[in-house]
Amino acid sequence: MSRTATVTRTTGETDIRIELDLDGTGASDISTGVGFFDHMLTALSRHSLIDMTVRCKGDTWVDDHHTVEDVGIAMGQALRIALGDKVGIRRFGDVCVPLDEALILASVDISGRGELYWDVPITAQKVGTFDTELGHEFFCGFARDAGITLHLRELCGENAHHILEATFKSCARALRAAVEPDPRVSGVPSTKGVL
């Protein structure tokens, strides 16, 4: 069974196409018009082993908000579609990922209940030209539309680039574990029988 999805999303603010393959090798082809965000999505793909093609043309002359948030929404929709009926997945994944002084905890439940629980304080407002608050916006849209419970927590950190990059990488590693097929699981990993 192919665990892939293609999602297009067009609004007055963005025009997006996302392709995902959950059983990939971490190959990516990312172009959103926001350099730092492309770097983060490349890391997300690489460390989750989810192949991703992301194309976005957004109103970046306004700012990067619509692009980052809408890519999160479309990527979440693609993940939900690629997961299909969720039969045989591990469902849960958690990890702590360091990047120099930053240490980020990520915990994922492919629950069907999309919610982000964010405790990642970043004192700097920018990494280059990227608004650091947009990290929250991406993960909020992603978790909600993917239907996953996602906890992200900063255990320590000072450098905003390190904190954000460790956040994307920790989410990636937790996702990798959660979406992975488990040969010991029969059916959907829930006492309810559905996720």
Domain ranges of the chain: 4-179
- Quick: pLDDT tens for 140-190: 999 999 999 999 999 999 999 999 999 999 999 999 999 999 999 999 999
Question: In a 3-state reduction of DSSP, which class is residue 116?
Answer: strand
CATH superfamily of the 4-179 domain: Imidazole glycerol phosphate dehydratase; domain 1 (3.30.230.40)
115-116-121 Cα angle (round to 5) = 165
Q: State residue 1's pLDDT score.
A: 76
Q: State residue 193's pLDDT score.
A: 83
Answering whether pTM is above 0.95, one says yes
Residue in 45, 49, 48, 25 with CA at minimum distance from that of residue 37 = 45
Residue in 48, 112, 52 with CA at minimum distance from that of residue 83 = 112
Q: State residue 194's pLDDT score.
A: 85
* Low pLDDT (below 70) residues in the chain: none
Q: State residue 168's pLDDT score.
A: 98
Q: State residue 157's pLDDT score.
A: 98
Helices 35-48 and 65-83, axial angle in degrees (round to 10): 20
